[in-house]
Structure 1
Amino acid sequence: MKLLQRITTTNLVLIVAIFLTTIGNFKFFSEVIEIYPLVDNIAFVASLLLWLLVFLVIGLLLICYRYSVKPILILLLIVSAIVAYFANNYSIIFDDNMIANSLETSVAESVDLFSFELIAYAILLGLIPSYWIYKVQIIKENFLQQLWSKLKVIVILLVMFVLITSIFSKSYTSFIRENKQLRLYINPTYYLYAIGKHINSKFETTTIPFKVIAQDALINRADDKKKLIIMVVGETARADRFSLNGYQRMTNPLLANENVISLRQMYSCGTDTAYSLPCMFSNLGRSDYTHVEGKNMSNALDILSYAGVKILWRDNNSNSKGVADRLTYQDFKSKSLNTVCNIECRDEGMLVGLQQYVDAHYDKDMLIILHMMGSHGPAYYKRYPEKFKIFTPICETNQLNKCTNVQISNAYDNTIVYTDYFLSKTINFLKNNQSLFKTAMFYMSDHGESLGENELYLHGMPYFIAPKEQIHVGSILWFGDEFFKDVDAELLNKKANTKLSHDGMFHTLLGLMNVDTLIYKEKLDYISYIK
């Protein structure tokens, strides 16, 4: 009993590290066992536990001292419990992009992730052991005593590390070279690394100067008729759930009656909104994009604004992730602006009052961006009004692993039906403005979604291991009658069935508005040529 009441800093770190390594890494070891079955690899899997323990203990001993040890360990336990919940239930990986996405999540989105099981994880794996740490008395040691105590443990652990690595050298070579993705599940080591990477990125992003590009941009076309284009940014919309793309369910009944073109093989820049959204509007392309450079450089909307296009961003999601920071921005998650709200504010509310804006700027080319809530999970059942509950039974909880794949798919497919309705309403809005403007609609989702395939849910997987469901996204074009005459329809129809990516969106937006600039690349423009 006295041992539990009084303890040295070194021993406290050891106990917490053992607890975190054994209890917090269920997902990691389940993934390991998939590749290294216990029947033939039980000794290697056991050695991995010791391997992780060595890393964690040494790291904690280096940063934990008398007055910092309790706050550090308590915070680590609580965060690790939450990470374990999402890893075990949704197979979510907390890399630097997911850290960024989590920090930028709105209150409403956070509520969608709340569950009693999450509370249970937080209490059992976080708060209860944290309370013990809070109550325990740390034995006072002077600096030399504490240093000697730590050095002894670190030396012993390093010797263990060398021995383990040498005994299982072949297995560790395979583990490191051929199964790099496994390290992403290590709790808490990997998310701590990701937090450090995110902080470094934020620091660099805020300290380097903003780079203005394409100052030569200007509108260059033969006629004087202004253009009105609505760019709809979709959320979490998988291409394979659109009946326009061959899905067996009729999820696009209204768009099927419109003269739309579906870009069937569109692939996203990222697997989460925080990364994909700014990347979509950037000139850099997926292979070169980083927040440090991309967020500190003029994007497609900035350049269109330089050329004289009137830009409006209406948002029914969390925010524009920096894309609209220098432009007119309206928050339609707010009931003061969005008049179509029941369980939550609906995407169609972004069309309310839009005609007044168009009328006020009739003498300008306009690009209006509508950022949808779309199919954002895990509470798909909240994303549409009751009349769009077409496919049943549905999953009516945010704990997707408690529902069948059929229930999840039904709820998700209903969100696509509502998206179809919203896009149809957007097209009708544009049709009503064809007398004064050449009109067009351009829909593009930011990323896709896993719906239980291979026991994966939601999105945000690192791109190099992301399944197709998270990167193959919905994208649709519609042109008003007069605008369509200017489009190379034959070339566009050919492109509609070829593999495309978000890399072309920047150039397509410039092309739609006939904006000339040296950085425009016609070969990346989905539509290629507009008169």
Structure 2
Amino acid sequence: MQIRSPLTWWRFADADRTRAPGAAAGPALFVWGIALWLATVGNLPLWQHINGLGGTLAQRAALIVGLGLVVAGGSAALLWLLAWPRVFRVAASVLLLVAGANSYFMWQYGVVMDPTMLANALNTDAREVRDLLTWQLPAALLAVAGLPLWALWRRAPLWGRAWPRVRRNALGVLGGLALTVVVALLSYQGLASLMRNHKELRYMANPLNTVYSVTRVAANRLPRQVKPLLPVGEDAVLGASYTHQARPPLLVLVVGETARAQNFGLNGYARDTTPALARWQATGALVNFSQVRSCGTNTLVSVPCLFSPLTRAEGGDQPPEHQNLLDVLQRAGLAVLWLDNQAGCKGVCDRVPHAFAGDHPVPGLCEGSECLDAALLDGLDQRIAALDPQRSARGVVVVMHQMGSHGPAYSLRAPAERKPFMPECRSATLSDCPREQLLNAYDNSIAYTDHFLDLTLQWLKGQADRGSFDTGLIYVSDHGESLGENGLYLHGVPYAFAPDQQTHVPMVAWFSNGLRERAGLSLDCLRQRAAEPVSHDNYFHSVLGLMDVRTRARLPALDALSPCARSAG
């Protein structure tokens, strides 16, 4: 047997890699062919969007051609970076499939793949993925990626020798970047005006938007994963109201999901989607806050930001670097419990007791891995009794994270007997549903949230009437939802240009007589101030004030309840 030296083996292997049988062309044809395909077919939603912006045909054509060449140059530069044996075809295939998937979600829901949307997608669970899968997704993948994938895998590129390949790839990258820069300069006036007036377009350039978002998410998150969270409220102690308390406080914080204020009956919506809450409001004990803004447009941003000590302007909407409200409550000596019926607490509950509704399915309320929100109340007394007794004797804070109105499967969010608005949309392809049926399905989910809050309030009132606790509830949604307005569906539009429907959220609060007295709250004052603007920024400080937790981390100026408390400030 002939024995080859290591150098001979390297040359032999290189020859195998560089002389693919039946190869028809060098990589330049593949790179530029795929780049041009991505810039045209792969960006049809972008070109359709620009074509609908108005202006003359010549103006629209100039913008599409100019931006198309920029996308082609950028895509070519990226593909040249990946143009290596055993890498190129796999990487190019991934980019084509990503372009197809992005096109589908832009066509169907109007969402764009910015960094927050990508991070949200990476934290999506199997239930949410299932709701989004329709036959249109493989059809979009086939339409956008099918032909170039067939061409790419039918014949391999002829790579050539190693050092010439390095030179060729470097020149290819420079050529792609040069095309991008030259066209951008020649079209600067039109493109600059377009991007200034329509910022969402920068996240529609496919698949460069995903490459950019992946880079941003990795750069933001990887360093934080190796650093411990900064402590918050290390000086936290319970205030004077705990010294000789007759009963401990019990506060339930309901974190709503995808509820928009526009469809909340208490906010003047034409439909009575909140009849139970209206009855509680009529008693005088429930206050509706009508002008509340969310911190983000998706759960991954809004839930951590809601519990963050930082305001949105201070970076509360960024991946957390600090501990949160639950850490401070627990540090002060209170018992804290998180109950989840969603895709997790996004790290907020990692250091406190927590459980999922689906862990012990409730007959009639749970089907498979999905539960109606009322399952959060099942066995709640026993869950509280199982908490640290010394902490529970001081006070308890329970957080319930709803499934709420999570889409697109709105029809699954309420049982058949609690659907006052019919017929309803039952398709995940929301654009296929008549407008009225889509609103029916969404409004039924809001009506079920009203029912769930009613059940929770009845339970809390029972606890107060028995003298077990001084009870209260604060409900606020994490973000809103688009239901076809301006061609948008679902949520997750970058906050800078998110529509009102995705950031204006409902919020209500109810306090028993005992909790109002110990906190010194005036209901008349709260009702008078209920129409003033508040936001998720106020949540951390308001809860600490209500629970009489003394710490320098609480800023009285951000406590929305403080002006109506006996010890204001």
1:514 alignment counterpart: 548
The alignment partner of 1:230 has SS state of strand
1:377 alignment counterpart: 407
Per the TM alignment, residue 494 of structure 1 is displaced from its structure 2 partner at its CA by 2.8
1:226 to 244, 248, 268: 248
Q: Residues 132, 156 of structure 1: CA spacing in aligned structure 2 closer, same or farther, 3 A cutoff?
A: closer
1:504 alignment counterpart: 538
1:465 alignment counterpart: 497
Matched, 1:327 2:361: no
1:437 alignment counterpart: 469
Per the TM alignment, residue 388 of structure 1 is displaced from its structure 2 partner at its CA by 1.4
Matched, 1:16 2:48: no
Deviates more, 1:439-448 or 1:490-499: 490-499
Matched, 1:418 2:448: yes
In the TM superposition, 1:342-357 aligns within 5 A as 342=367, 344-357=370-383
1:323-374 deviations in Å (ceiling 9; x for gaps): 0000101011334478721473111011011112334545230000110000
1:383-421 deviations in Å (ceiling 9; x for gaps): 110011111121110000101221111100000110000
1:94 alignment counterpart: 113
1:28 alignment counterpart: 46
Are the counterparts in 2 of residues 347 and 422 from structure 1 also a CA contact under 8 Å? yes
> Which one-letter code corresponds to 2:254 in the other structure?
V
Are the counterparts in 2 of residues 255 and 424 from structure 1 also a CA contact under 8 Å? yes
> Which one-letter code corresponds to 1:236 in the other structure?
T
The alignment partner of 1:81 has SS state of helix
Matched, 1:257 2:279: yes
CA distance in 1, matches of 2:177, 2:383: 67
The alignment partner of 1:187 has SS state of coil
Matched, 1:199 2:218: yes
CA distance in 2, matches of 1:302, 1:154: 49
The alignment partner of 1:174 has SS state of helix
1:210-233 deviations in Å (ceiling 9; x for gaps): 211211111113341310111111
CA distance in 2, matches of 1:523, 1:489: 19
Are the counterparts in 2 of residues 201 and 291 from structure 1 also a CA contact under 8 Å? no
The alignment partner of 1:428 has SS state of helix
Q: Residues 44, 350 of structure 1: CA spacing in aligned structure 2 closer, same or farther, 3 A cutoff?
A: closer
Per the TM alignment, residue 102 of structure 1 is displaced from its structure 2 partner at its CA by 0.5
2:304 alignment counterpart: 278
1:238 to 254, 257, 260: 260
Identity %: 33
> Which one-letter code corresponds to 1:40 in the other structure?
A
CA distance in 1, matches of 2:259, 2:296: 13
1:294-347 deviations in Å (ceiling 9; x for gaps): 623120110000001100000000000000000101011334478721473111
The alignment partner of 2:561 has SS state of coil
CA distance in 2, matches of 1:286, 1:517: 21
Q: Residues 334, 125 of structure 1: CA spacing in aligned structure 2 closer, same or farther, 3 A cutoff?
A: farther
Per the TM alignment, residue 156 of structure 1 is displaced from its structure 2 partner at its CA by 5.1
Deviates more, 1:488-497 or 1:252-261: 488-497
Deviates more, 1:352-361 or 1:204-213: 352-361
CA distance in 2, matches of 1:516, 1:345: 37
Are the counterparts in 2 of residues 514 and 530 from structure 1 also a CA contact under 8 Å? no
Are the counterparts in 1 of residues 77 and 175 from structure 2 also a CA contact under 8 Å? no
> Which one-letter code corresponds to 2:441 in the other structure?
A
In the TM superposition, 1:121-132 aligns within 5 A as 121-126=140-145, 129-132=148-151
The alignment partner of 1:432 has SS state of helix
CA distance in 2, matches of 1:437, 1:288: 36
CA distance in 2, matches of 1:159, 1:98: 30
Alpha-carbon RMSD across the aligned residues, in angstroms, is 2.2
1:118 to 133, 137, 145: 137
CA distance in 1, matches of 2:142, 2:305: 38
Deviates more, 1:3-12 or 1:463-472: 3-12
Deviates more, 1:23-32 or 1:107-116: 23-32
Are the counterparts in 2 of residues 334 and 345 from structure 1 also a CA contact under 8 Å? no
Are the counterparts in 2 of residues 10 and 149 from structure 1 also a CA contact under 8 Å? no
> Which one-letter code corresponds to 2:350 in the other structure?
D
CA distance in 1, matches of 2:435, 2:479: 20
1:446 alignment counterpart: 478
1:289 alignment counterpart: 315
Q: Residues 527, 377 of structure 1: CA spacing in aligned structure 2 closer, same or farther, 3 A cutoff?
A: same
Per the TM alignment, residue 36 of structure 1 is displaced from its structure 2 partner at its CA by 5.3
Q: Residues 139, 305 of structure 1: CA spacing in aligned structure 2 closer, same or farther, 3 A cutoff?
A: same
CA distance in 2, matches of 1:339, 1:297: 40
The alignment partner of 1:65 has SS state of coil
Are the counterparts in 2 of residues 391 and 410 from structure 1 also a CA contact under 8 Å? yes
Are the counterparts in 2 of residues 237 and 445 from structure 1 also a CA contact under 8 Å? yes
Are the counterparts in 2 of residues 272 and 446 from structure 1 also a CA contact under 8 Å? yes
The alignment partner of 1:282 has SS state of coil
The alignment partner of 1:477 has SS state of strand
2:427 to 397, 419, 430: 397
Q: Residues 309, 157 of structure 1: CA spacing in aligned structure 2 closer, same or farther, 3 A cutoff?
A: closer
| Structure 2, unaligned runs of 5 or more | 1-19
Q: Residues 147, 523 of structure 1: CA spacing in aligned structure 2 closer, same or farther, 3 A cutoff?
A: same
1:117-165 deviations in Å (ceiling 9; x for gaps): 0121223333553343233222131134324444555565555445534
2:506 alignment counterpart: 474
> Which one-letter code corresponds to 1:35 in the other structure?
L
Q: Residues 4, 168 of structure 1: CA spacing in aligned structure 2 closer, same or farther, 3 A cutoff?
A: farther
Are the counterparts in 1 of residues 288 and 530 from structure 2 also a CA contact under 8 Å? yes
> Which one-letter code corresponds to 1:439 in the other structure?
T
Per the TM alignment, residue 4 of structure 1 is displaced from its structure 2 partner at its CA by 9.3
Deviates more, 1:296-305 or 1:25-34: 25-34
Q: Residues 338, 498 of structure 1: CA spacing in aligned structure 2 closer, same or farther, 3 A cutoff?
A: farther
Are the counterparts in 1 of residues 308 and 316 from structure 2 also a CA contact under 8 Å? no
1:246-267 deviations in Å (ceiling 9; x for gaps): 1111111111111311111000
CA distance in 1, matches of 2:177, 2:141: 32
> Which one-letter code corresponds to 1:513 in the other structure?
M
Deviates more, 1:133-142 or 1:225-234: 133-142
1:55-112 deviations in Å (ceiling 9; x for gaps): 1101221232222111110111112211110011111011111111111111011100
How many aligned residue pairs are there? 529
| Structure 1, unaligned runs of 5 or more | none
2:366 alignment counterpart: 341
CA distance in 1, matches of 2:180, 2:539: 49
CA distance in 1, matches of 2:208, 2:299: 24
Deviates more, 1:242-251 or 1:119-128: 119-128
Q: Residues 212, 239 of structure 1: CA spacing in aligned structure 2 closer, same or farther, 3 A cutoff?
A: same
CA distance in 2, matches of 1:35, 1:169: 18
The alignment partner of 1:369 has SS state of strand
Matched, 1:317 2:342: yes
CA distance in 2, matches of 1:418, 1:396: 16
> Which one-letter code corresponds to 1:230 in the other structure?
V
Are the counterparts in 1 of residues 80 and 170 from structure 2 also a CA contact under 8 Å? no
CA distance in 1, matches of 2:63, 2:134: 36
> Which one-letter code corresponds to 1:7 in the other structure?
A
Q: Residues 271, 158 of structure 1: CA spacing in aligned structure 2 closer, same or farther, 3 A cutoff?
A: closer
Are the counterparts in 2 of residues 488 and 527 from structure 1 also a CA contact under 8 Å? no
CA distance in 1, matches of 2:54, 2:76: 25
Are the counterparts in 1 of residues 302 and 317 from structure 2 also a CA contact under 8 Å? no
